[in-house]
Amino acid sequence: MTRTKTVKLSHYVENGFKSLNAQHYGEVDPGFNPPKATKIPKYKQKRSRLTIEATKQLLEFVDTKAPSHIRNAIHIAISTGQRVGDIAKMKFSDVYDGHLHVTQQKSGGKTKLAIPLSIKNPLLDESLGEIIKRCRDNVVSQSIIHYSKRIQGGRVGAAVSSRNISGSFSNLVAKSGIEYGNETPPTFHELRSVSARSYMEIGVDIQSLLGHKSQRVTERYQDNRGEEYTYIKLGSS
């Protein structure tokens, strides 16, 4: 038996004897079991929602401070509304007939999207096609999101993993100084919601873009969680 298991066993035995003594003197009810009575509190962390204004501030920071492969990944995410795993798998060969073709991994390959290269998110100065064209740098690579410079753990031209993209995004959020309240910092996945909310204003079919089968799921991405005012538009009189 390991020392850790021995310590834990001794702890339970000690508590057991204390419980028996307490029951003997009438301090607790008969049959009281300290280990079972001890409940570990459960904390449900809520990921912070990125407001549109905070996203604009983050983009300003990203455009000047982020490595090109992370900047490209962030712009692709906002432009397409796709998950980080699908973005990491995107290849230049997926671009044809005026569309970026995406097979979503989460659906097991059942959800296939063709996103027009002409689509332009209101938060960005470039269309999807222009962003992908920018990704075609002087480096030979099959992957849209790839390393343009040699860095530790990354070979020039190699695809950037979803884990690296997510981790780099979290570092940028921490350094950017954007405010997100007392909740957990927004993750890269939050850009999917940003994309949905920003496209909603210009009438893009968000449910199809995100690849959702249910409108209810799409509505969760559109929800700003009370962090933004809803401006009431007055009808024409």
Give the tens place of pLDDT for each residue, 57-96: 999 999 999 999 999 999 999 999 999 999 999 999 999 9
Residue 237, pLDDT score: 42
Candidates 49, 75, 192, 197; catalytic one: 192
Query: Residue 218 has what pLDDT?
Result: 46
Spatial separation of the C-alpha atoms in residues 195 and 79, rounded to whole Å: 7
192 belongs to the catalytic site: yes
Question: Given this model, what pLDDT does residue 49 score?
Answer: 82
- The pLDDT assigned to 117 comes to 96
| CA pair distance 58, 173, nearest whole angstrom | 7
| Catalytic residue check, 212 | yes
Q: 3-class DSSP state for residue 186?
A: coil
Catalytic annotation present for 24: no
Helix (H, G, I), strand (E, B) or coil at 100: strand
pLDDT at residue number 120: 96
Q: Which of 91, 99, 189, 225 is catalytic?
A: 189
Q: Which of 47, 99, 212, 225 is catalytic?
A: 212
Reply yes or no on whether 12 is catalytic: no
Catalytic residue selected from 83, 89, 120, 146: 83
pTM, two decimals, is 0.72
CA–CA distances in Å: residue 193 to residues 83, 101, 188, 214: 10, 20, 10, 15
**Contact at 8 Å (CB) between 61 and 148?**
no
For residue 233, the model assigns a pLDDT of 34
Any catalytic annotation for residue 221? yes
**Candidate list 11, 46, 65, 106, residue with the active-site label:** 106
- Stretches where the chain sits below pLDDT 70 are 1-47, 182, 212-237
In whole angstroms, what is the distance from residue 52 CA to residue 209 CA?
19
Q: Which domains does the chain have, with CATH numbers?
A: 8-37 (no CATH), 52-213 (1.10.443.10)
Please state, in angstroms and rounded to a whole number, the distance separating the CA atoms of residues 99 and 92: 11
Quote the pLDDT of residue 31.
Answer: 57
Report the amino acid identity of residue 212.
Answer: H
